[in-house]
Structure 1
Amino acid sequence: MPDLCQLCGRAEVLTRHHLIPKTRHHNRRNKRLFDRAEVRTRVIWICRPCHSQIHRVLDEKTLEREYNTLEALRDHPDVRAFVQWIAGKPVGFKPKGGRRR
């Protein structure tokens, strides 16, 4: 497990984010495209604010199909804007709620 959030780079308590959401692991399309071991181990370690933002702006089906890599997540416009904003905040900063999808 890394010491810093893999999105914003802050030294926070980290949470495990499944790049292929657990609720989608048994999906037929998913079984065709990904090896079982890969589905379970394709994770990134991110802080709670970044994790919450991802789930605020993307549904699980979209995460599975379009944003199942760290690079793809970083390229999403809403995630990128949030990461740039929160990267400058102090450790322990907790943003208030925000826009929903």
Structure 2
Amino acid sequence: MSDPICPLCDRPIPDGTGSLHHLVPKLKGGKGGPTVLLHQICHKEIHATLTEAELARDYNSVEALRAHPRLAKFLAWVGKRPPGFRSKVPGRRRLR
């Protein structure tokens, strides 16, 4: 069986390294709602870029996430990396 494909960056997700993202955050009523399997690095970038309220209100689909300017720039960058790529820099939430 082949690896699942990340719907954000279109790269394969190596076995067991995916991260489940709730399209509507659980805290905003998304518990039990639709989820997508993403690379850990893609998932972290979503939450570093957008608040829970922004995710629930304006970015509750893969298409909307891909259209966000900062995420689009990140996806163009990460798309050139191998599927198992992980950032070596410890992450911290960026100021908005």
Q: TM-score, normalised by structure 1?
A: 0.77
Say what the alpha-carbon RMSD is for the aligned residues: 1.9
Q: Which amino acid aligns with 2:21?
A: H
Aligned residue for 2:82, secondary structure, equals coil
Identity %: 39
Q: Is 1:19–2:11 an aligned residue pair?
A: no
Change (3 A) 1:84 1:42: same
Q: 1:66 aligns with which of 35, 48, 58?
A: 58
State the partner residue of 2:9: 8
What residue ranges of structure 1 are gaps of 5+ in the alignment? Answer: 26-37
Structure 2, unaligned runs of 5 or more: none
Structure having the larger proportion of residues in helix:
1
Alpha-carbon distance between aligned partners in 1 of 2:56 and 2:42, rounded to the nearest angstrom:
17
Q: Which structure has the larger Rg?
A: 1
TM-score, structure 2 normalization: 0.81
User: Number of paired residues?
Assistant: 88
Tell me which stretches of 4 or more aligned residues in structure 1 moved more than 3 Å: none
Higher relative CO (Cα under 8 Å, sequence separation at least 6) belongs to: 1
2:37 pairs with 1:45: yes
